Each structure stands twice: as structure tokens, then as C-alpha cells.
Amino acid sequence: MIKSITPEEIVKQVIVKVSDNYAGIPNLMTSFYRETIRKNKNYVSIAEAVIEIFKAPYNNTFRNDMTRVYKGRKNVEVTRFDTVLFRLQGGPTTTLQLDLIKNPYSILTFDVMSSYDYKLLNIVVIDGMPHYVIGFHQKPDIDIPLFYTCYLLFDALFSMNNCR
């Protein structure tokens, strides 16, 4: 049976099915983290760490995800920071904020959906399962700055696998 579905309907289904598709219990993981800063083709800063990640349940908005560094190292080439000194606010904890299912306020809410135009870009097969690639950008009449262009990857069960 072939059924036509719009990109907006896919995003709405993802929002509705969050409690079905994502863990309702906490999860503890061990991971490797690497952050690099390059100036032209040269690395000016490299940070690496083995971290423990506590992922709070997706249905609990009062508990935050947390990280703990087991072992880490950092190398900075101060001489390559010529004329501009800057500091990036990054790190393992910041990357957890990119979990759009846990932090949907920026993209995946019914209120915010009206600010974007959606387009089905492709359907790809990953591990034998079809995935929808949906692109979206801010509508021209919206004055506040939002995400401009992003590509979301949703599986056929309407859970999000990746954002680019």
C-alpha cells in the first residue's frame, strides 16, 4: 500500500511519538569525545576525553543530561592564535544540548513548526529500513533568527536518527 505523506506530517508524527520512541528510563554510557579547532589547515587546539554520559529519561523535563570526564587531555598552540584571542564555549556537556528530542524548543514543537517551510529531500535506506530526509528553512516573513537550513533524518517509525 502506497501512502502519500507530507514533510509536515512526518515532523508532527515525530513530536507525537516521542514517548513511544525514546527511553523513559535513565541511561548511562561511556564515550570518547574529541574537539578540534583549526586555523586554515593547521590545528591550534585539540581536546580529547573519555567521558561518562548520564542521559535522563526523555519523558522527564526536570532531570538534565550530565557528563563526567574520566580522563582527558588538551593541547593548545598559543603562537597560532595570532591577532584574535577567542574562547569557544563547548565541551561534552554542550553537545548534549544538541539532542533535539530532549531539547525540542528550538525546532520540534508545534508552535515553532509554523515558522519553517519543510521539504522532503530524499528517502534513504539504512540497515534495511527507510528513512526520510527532511530539509527545512525559516520562512521569509519571520523576522526573528531561527535555524536557517537543516536536514533531519527520520525513520519510518517516526523517530529521529540524526540532524545535519
Distance CA 67, CA 72 (A): 13
* Grid coordinates given for 110: 508545534
Let me know whether 106 and 152 are in one domain: yes
pLDDT in tens, 3-20: 678 999 988 988 888 888
Say if residues 2 and 34 touch (Cβ distance below 8 Å). Answer: no
Regarding whether 106 and 73 lie in a shared domain, the answer is no
Of 97, 121, 139, the residue at which a domain comes to its end is: 97
Q: What is the extent of the structural domain holding 37? A: 24-97
Mean pLDDT across 148-155? 67
pLDDT value at residue 164: 44
* Gyration radius of the chain's alpha carbons: 19
Domain end among 56, 77, 97: 97
Lowest mean pLDDT of 49-58, 91-100, 104-113, name the range: 91-100
- What are the strands, taking DSSP E only, across 14-148? 27-39, 42-55, 66-76, 116-126, 129-138
- Over range 30-34, report the average pLDDT: 91
Q: Bridge partners of 129?
A: 126
Q: Could you tell me the pLDDT band of residue 50, with boundaries at 50, 70 and 90?
A: very high
Q: What is the pLDDT of residues 60-76, one digit of tens each?
A: 777 788 889 889 888 87
The three cell numbers of residue 28 are: 548511562
Q: What confidence score (pLDDT) does residue 83 get?
A: 46
- Tell me the C-alpha distance between 10 and 81, whole Å: 45
Q: How confident is the model at residue 160 (pLDDT cuts 50, 70, 90)?
A: low
Distance CA 156, CA 131 (A): 6
My answer on whether 43 and 83 are in the same domain is yes
CB 66 within 8 A of CB 95: no
Predicted local confidence at residue 32, as pLDDT: 92
For every residue of 95-120, DSSP letters joined together read HHTT-TTTSGGGTSSHHHHTTEEEEE
